[in-house]
Amino acid sequence: MANDQILLLSLLALIFSLFIWGRWRYDVVAVGALLLATISGVIVPQAAFSGLGHPATVTVAAVLIISRALTNTGVVEIATGLVKVALPKPAFHIAALAGLGALLSTIMNNVGALALLMPVALQSSIEAKRSPAVILMPLAFGTILGGMVTLIGTPPNIIVAAYRGEITGEPFNMFDFSPVGATVAVVGLVFVTVLGWRFIPSARRQQMTSQELFKIEDYVAEVRVPEGSKAVGKSLDELEAATEDSDALVVGLIRGERSILGAAWRERIQAGDIVILESDQKGIDKFVGTLELELPSAKKKENEESEKPKTDPLHSGDGALMEAVIPPERSWLIGRTPKSLKLRTRFGVNLLAASRQGLPHRGRLKSFRFRAGDVLLLQGEEDRLREVISRLGCLPLAERQLQFVKRNLALLSALVFGFAIASATLGFLSLPIALASAATIMVLLNIVPAREMYDSIDWPVVVLIGAMIPIGQALEETGATEVVVESFLGIASGFSPVVILTLLLILTMMLSDVLNNAATAVVMAPFGWTLAQHLGINPDPFLMAVAIGASCAFLTPIGHQNNLLVMGPGGYQFGDYWRMGLPLEILIVAVSIPTLLWVWPL
Q: How far apart are CA 204 and CA 376, in angstroms?
A: 19
**3-class secondary structure, 427:** coil
Is the overall model pTM greater than 0.85, yes or no? no
Q: Is 421 exposed, middle or buried (CB count within 10 Å of its CB: 0-12, 13-18, 19+)?
A: buried
CATH number of 226-293: 3.30.70.1450
pLDDT of res. 402 = 38
Give, in degrees to the nearest 5, the angle at Cα 21 between 481 and 516.
55
Torsions phi, psi for 409 (to 5 deg): -105, 5
* Residue 212 pLDDT class (50, 70, 90 cuts): low
DSSP 226-240: -TT-TTTT-BHHHHH
pLDDT of res. 301 = 45
Residue 282's contacts (CB-CB under 8 Å, 6 or more residues apart) are none
Residue 139's contacts (CB-CB under 8 Å, 6 or more residues apart) are 94, 97, 98, 101, 114, 117, 118, 121, 566
Out of 28-32, 52-56, 256-260, pick the least confident.
Answer: 256-260
Fold (CATH) for 319-404: Alpha-Beta Plaits (3.30.70)
pLDDT of res. 318 = 53
pLDDT tens for each residue of 289-347: 888 888 765 434 444 444 444 445 555 545 677 888 888 867 788 888 887 887 877 88
**3-class secondary structure, 357:** coil
Q: How far apart are CA 397 and CA 402, in angstroms?
A: 15
- Give the pLDDT mean for 465-477: 90
Out of 7-16, 266-275, 435-444, pick the least confident.
Answer: 266-275
DSSP 1: -
Out of 328-332, 377-381, 424-428, 476-480, pick the least confident.
Answer: 328-332
Give whichever of 115-124, 523-532, 559-568 has the largest mean pLDDT.
523-532
All CATH 3.30.70.1450 domain ranges in the chain, comma separated: 226-293, 319-404
Q: What is the dihedral of CA 489, 510, 186, 522, to 10 degrees?
A: -70
The CB density around residue 84, as the number of other CB atoms within 10 Å, is 13
- Give the pLDDT mean for 490-494: 81
* Residue 488 pLDDT class (50, 70, 90 cuts): confident
Q: What is the dihedral of CA 52, 55, 56, 62, to 10 degrees?
A: 90
Q: Which residue has the higher pLDDT, 381 or 63?
A: 63
* Residue 238 pLDDT class (50, 70, 90 cuts): confident
